[in-house]
C-alpha cells in the first residue's frame, strides 16, 4: 500500500515545502498546477515519463527551450513524488534537447570599434552623432551593459574621482566604474553639448 497522498494534495505539499525553503516558484507553481490539471483530465493517478513528456511538449509549436523548462518543472515534482512512492518515474533531463540559452557574445576588434565610431560620427543631427559615439565609446571602454549606459544621468559622473556610478544594476546593486582620463574628458564634452 502506497503512502503517497492524492496528486493534488501532493502538489500543494510540494509547493509548500519548496516555498518554506525559500523558493518563490511563481512560474513553476503555475506550470505544475497546469500539469496536475492535465493529469486529472486524463485520469492519471501516478504520473509516468510518458505523461510528463506529453504535457511538456504542449503546444507542439513551442520552442525546445520552453518544452525543456516545462519538463524541468515536472522533474522536480516527480522527484518529490518518487520519494513518497518509488513507483513514480522521474523523467530524465535529456529527454528534450534544450537549445543554447544565449547568443554567443561577439567581441569587437579595435578596428571594428573605430569603424562604428566613424559611422556614428556621420549621423545627423550633430547631437545624435555625439550620443551614439558616446554610447559606443562607453560600451567599449567601460564594459557597461547597454541598459546601464542608457540609464546614466549626468549626476552619475564623479569628475573629481574619475568614476561613473552605475545604479541599481543586475540584482539591484550599484557599482563604481573607474574612467580613463580620455573617457572622462569625452563624457564631460558630451554633457556640455547635451546641456
Divide the 195 residues of the chain into consecutive groups of 10 and give the mean pLDDT of each group.
72 95 91 95 93 94 90 96 93 85 82 96 95 94 90 89 88 88 90 89
Residue 157 · residue 187 · CB < 8 Å: yes
Distance, in Å, from the CA atom of 112 to the CA atom of 109, rounded to the nearest integer, reads 5
Please report, for the chain, the start and end positions of each structural domain, with discontinuous segments joined by +: 7-95, 110-194
Specify the pLDDT at position 5: 62
Specify the pLDDT at position 1: 42
Architecture of domain 110-194: Orthogonal Bundle (1.10)
**What is the CATH code for 7-95?**
1.10.150
Specify the pLDDT at position 34: 96
Reported pTM = 0.52
Amino acid at each position: 500500500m502506497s503512502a503517497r497522498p492524492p496528486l493534488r494534495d501532493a502538489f500543494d505539499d510540494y509547493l509548500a515545502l519548496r516555498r518554506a525553503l525559500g523558493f518563490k516558484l511563481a512560474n513553476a507553481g503555475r506550470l505544475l498546477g497546469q500539469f496536475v490539471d492535465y493529469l486529472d483530465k486524463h485520469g492519471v493517478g501516478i504520473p509516468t515519463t510518458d505523461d510528463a513528456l506529453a504535457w511538456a511538449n504542449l503546444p507542439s509549436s513551442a520552442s525546445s527551450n520552453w518544452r525543456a523548462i516545462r519538463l524541468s518543472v515536472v522533474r522536480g515534482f516527480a522527484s518529490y513524488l518518487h520519494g513518497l512512492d518509488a513507483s513514480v518515474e522521474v523523467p530524465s533531463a535529456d529527454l528534450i534537447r534544450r537549445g543554447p540559452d544565449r547568443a554567443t557574445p561577439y567581441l569587437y576588434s579595435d578596428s571594428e570599434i573605430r569603424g562604428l565610431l566613424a559611422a556614428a560620427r556621420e549621423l545627423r543631427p550633430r547631437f545624435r552623432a555625439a550620443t551614439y559615439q558616446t554610447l559606443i565609446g562607453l560600451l567599449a571602454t567601460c564594459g557597461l551593459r547597454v541598459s546601464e549606459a542608457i540609464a546614466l544621468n549626468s549626476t552619475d559622473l564623479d569628475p573629481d574621482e574619475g568614476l561613473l556610478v552605475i545604479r541599481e544594476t543586475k540584482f539591484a546593486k550599484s557599482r563604481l566604474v573607474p574612467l580613463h582620463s580620455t573617457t572622462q574628458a569625452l563624457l564631460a564634452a558630451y554633457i556640455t553639448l547635451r546641456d
